[in-house]
Amino acid sequence: MENAIAFGKETLIHDFLEVKDDLEKALDLTKKPDDAAHLQGIAMTLKKFDDILARYGVQRIKTDGEKFDPEVHEAVQVVQAEGPPGHVVQEIRAGYTKHGKVIRPARVIINK
């Protein structure tokens, strides 16, 4: 019974993460000075979303400059870039854990 409840929560969290991804993309696309109120509203919504996820033990997986870890990262591309080989050079989609268990791996581009 506990496993069924836990799985149900993970499914719900996964669905919410898709919405969070869309909000982050919207925030990135509205960097115009005349959109200040719009930008502030999206930022506040994302902050609230992050706070709720944190209450349920959901944490974003670190990617920026991290060594590629197949346990938490999903490589979608390998490129030649500055920096150490085998390290993340760009995050394509954020990944998340819940109490240390990977809910969704981070999609990343890694250095050759």
Residue boundaries of the structural domains of the chain? 1-56, 60-112
Among positive and negative, which fits the CA dihedral 65, 87, 79, 29? negative
Report pLDDT for 6.
65
Distances (CA, A) of 21 to 3, 13, 14, 79, 89: 27, 12, 11, 24, 19
Token readout for 79 is: 């490129």
60-112 in CATH: which number?
A: 2.30.22.10
Q: What's the average pLDDT block by block, 10 residues per block, for the chain (112 residues)?
A: 69 81 77 70 83 89 96 97 94 94 96 94
Query: What pLDDT is recorded for position 20?
Result: 85
Cα→Cα distances 4→1, 8, 9, 17, Å: 5, 6, 9, 20
pTM for this predicted structure? 0.73
Distance CA(38)–CA(71), nearest Å, equals 37
